[in-house]
Amino acid sequence: MAPVTNLLADMLVNGDIAQLFGYVNDVLQSIIVIFGAAVVLYNIPRLSRGAVPRAFSSLVGLVVLVYLTELLVSRAVAPESAEFLLRVGWVGVAMVPAAQFHLSDALLTTTGKISRRRHVMVILGFLTGAAFALLGLFGDWVVGPPLATAPTPRLTSGVAFPFFAAYFWGVALASVYNVWRARQRCLTTTTRRRMTTTLFAILAAPLAVFPYTLLIGDPTADLPLFLWPVLIIGNFAVSILFGVLTSQLVYFGSTLPDRVVRVRLYKYMARVPMAATIVLLVFVLVNRAPPLLGLHKEVVLGFSVVATVMIVEWIIHHYKKIFERAFQLDDDPDVRRIQALSERLLTTSEMKQFLESVLAATCEAVRTPTAFVAGLTPNGPKLEAVVGPLEDLPSDDLQRFSFPIHGENGTTPSDHPADNFFVWGNYWIQPLYNERSDLLLGILGMRARAPQPDLTPDELRLLSRLRTQAAAALEDRILQQEVFAAVEGILPEIIALQERRSAAAFGGLPALTAPTPPSPDGLLQDPEFSNMVRDALNHYWGGPKLTESPLLQLEVVQRELEEHGNNPVSALRAILTEAIEQQKPDGQRSLTTTEWILYNILDLKFVQGRRVRDVARRLAMSESDLYRKQRVAIENVARTIATMERATLDESEHPFDSIVAPHVQTIPG
């Protein structure tokens, strides 16, 4: 604080109170410019989401232009440069009322109050503002050049300035009236509260940019000392109002939950404008302070700026969760549970590392050079992790072993570790079960040190603990795969619900009861469409649910008739096959990895026609889990067929598009 104290002391001792006020005012204007520019940058990706983000960005951009030119004018060295900057800033002053009226019209339209007359008034407002801007930029009718004898460069009022003042405040008050009408139309507590806050905060723009100095009679007089505190308090209030306005309008045009929007905004504000403001303050204070410790000012300045950036980023990173809880940004219990799940997920590489640790301990416990964990697949064991040289693996299949499974044929795995050993060539293997012992997860193998297992009771006890941990890792991964499949299934419904919630926040009855627009794909809009696909898959190789399926009416099926001998059943089966194949991930097929689960269910259950128990066993899951994932897989096939049908309908409506550009089919996620 020494540089700040010394700087303020010098100003007070020298009696230059006006200079101190001017310095504080420049700092506030710099903060407004930084935060305003950050808001515009934040809204750039959101400009296509509605009229409110576009109108608000244009309004903030104009205010930033005014404040930036005022800052540059105070540092201009030539009178011509000062006048040019003042006239450029005048463009922002002239256009602010029209931009504010546009924002108020967008807010009122969001509540369902659409008016062609207001739209015409928005256009007239921009045209009038552009006219005043051009008159001030290239002439002296509205504003005149600054006088050479004036202590501070500022434009003088022209003969048409009173007309501009009337236009400025008339349009500003009309904007406030529009926001008040929008508030009256809000029905929910949240929307009414936001619109009430917006009603007061929208006054920030006209209060911030109106050229009050043109109302002073003598342009050569210096600004009175008592007006400096008023100007500083006004700029401080403007910065607060703009911050409040940004926090309220950021929700418009977003289909994300309010919680997510709020968290993203506050994180952005903390990392970009707030950090930049702190760095700027440090830069100005160090630059104006006397030399410190006998070092050159450039050395102190560089060190201070770098240290400030590092400290600010460290504080934001280290205390992020504390700030979120303090401002109630992410304090919902459901959100905390999802965050905890995300932080504790067991990835494939992490599971492999853990299994390697277990295998290393196994080698140490039973004094063997090699141990491995494998998952059982129809193609043989799939190695998950291995420690030591893996040599002389037997060529015979593990399927010859009859691993006991709890509840199957009256058998139950033995609780005694020695009873669960099997000799497989030069290896001893043990089955790995889930916690209920009704699902075979894989095998734990180790290189044999004798023709038959000869482990001591202490070795068996240690090995039993290690085997339990390896089985738990495999089971946890299967549970995670089930969670991912469930999330994948409900994600489209969640997105649709969030879109409806966003539309209904201000739209109310019209948004919730609007009829579905007519479309040529009427069958696709049927709520039973997924069930139709499921029935057709269940009778994939023949049956009434395939031969009498409503899906036979699809245009994409009709297009396939000629290639299948005008047999509609064969054409429908071909479409189902194509939709199933589009669920196949890239790479080599696996029966255990997450990305292959849904395709494997479709292929084994419907195409190959295997029984549910066989499919569940081959995919290492319970039957209840299989049915849940099967529902997700069928919904994916239904979405794929719907995409194929819409593409066919589009091609029918625009037959020449396929000639101009080849059709590329999109595979739904």
pLDDT in tens, 502-517: 655 555 555 555 554 4
Residue 580 tokens read as: 């199933």
The candidate with the shortest Cα–Cα distance to 365, out of 274, 449, 275, is 449
The pLDDT of residue 559 is above 80: yes
Residue count of the chain: 669
The domains found in the chain, sorted by start residue, are: 17-255 (1.20.1070.10), 259-344 (no CATH), 348-479 (3.30.450.40), 522-660 (no CATH)
Predicted pLDDT of residue 25: 78
The better pLDDT of the pair 414, 308 is held by 308
Q: Which of 57-61, 62-66, 400-404, 637-641 has the lowest mean pLDDT?
A: 400-404
Residues 381, 348 contacting (CB under 8 angstroms): no
Count Cβ atoms below 10 Å from residue 228 Cβ, excluding itself.
17
Give Cα separations from 45 to 35, 39, 155, 623 (angstroms): 17, 11, 36, 45
The pLDDT of residue 221 is above 60: no
106-149 per-position pLDDT tens digit: 888 888 788 888 889 999 999 999 999 999 888 888 888 877 66
Predicted pLDDT of residue 342: 62
User: At 115, is the secondary structure helix, strand, or coil?
Assistant: coil
Predicted pLDDT of residue 263: 77
322-377 per-position pLDDT tens digit: 766 665 555 566 666 666 666 666 677 777 888 888 899 989 888 889 999 887 65
The candidate with the shortest Cα–Cα distance to 58, out of 113, 25, 105, 26, is 105
The candidate with the shortest Cα–Cα distance to 253, out of 103, 126, 123, is 103
Q: What percentage of the chain reaches a pLDDT higher than 70?
A: 74
Predicted pLDDT of residue 658: 38
Give Cβ neighbours of residue 305 (< 8 Å, ≥ 6 apart).
Answer: 279, 282, 283
| Bridge partner list, 308 | none
Intra-chain end-to-end CA distance of the chain, in Å: 57
Residues 640, 666 contacting (CB under 8 angstroms): no
Residues 39, 239 contacting (CB under 8 angstroms): no
Cβ-count burial of 221 within 10 angstroms (0-12 exposed, 13-18 middle, 19+ buried)?
Answer: exposed
Band (52; pLDDT cuts 50, 70, 90) = confident
What does pTM read for this prediction? 0.58
Rounded to an integer, what distance in angstroms lies between the CA atom of residue 82 and that of residue 154?
8
Mean pLDDT confidence for 18-22: 71
Band (558; pLDDT cuts 50, 70, 90) = confident
Cα-based torsion angle of the residue sequence 17, 19, 20, 25 in order, rounded to the nearest 10 degrees: 130
Helices and strands per DSSP (H, E), number in the chain: 25, 7
Predicted pLDDT of residue 74: 73
Residue 572 tokens read as: 């429908």
The pLDDT of residue 381 is above 70: no
| Angle, helix 51-73 to helix 79-110, in steps of 10 degrees | 160
Band (101; pLDDT cuts 50, 70, 90) = very high
Rounded to an integer, what distance in angstroms lies between the CA atom of residue 560 and that of residue 549?
16
Mean pLDDT confidence for 25-51: 84
Cβ-count burial of 159 within 10 angstroms (0-12 exposed, 13-18 middle, 19+ buried)?
Answer: exposed
Band (171; pLDDT cuts 50, 70, 90) = very high
The candidate with the shortest Cα–Cα distance to 405, out of 620, 110, 216, 219, is 620
Instruction: Calculate the CA 128 to chain-centre distance.
Output: 40
Average confidence score pLDDT of the chain:
77
The better pLDDT of the pair 238, 20 is held by 238
The candidate with the shortest Cα–Cα distance to 133, out of 199, 66, 194, 49, is 66
Q: Are strands 440-447 and 427-433 parallel, antiparallel or unpaired?
A: antiparallel
Residue 364 tokens read as: 């140490």
Predicted pLDDT of residue 660: 35
Residue 360 tokens read as: 């290393």
Predicted pLDDT of residue 661: 35
Q: Which of 154-158, 385-389, 421-425, 663-667 has the lowest mean pLDDT?
A: 663-667
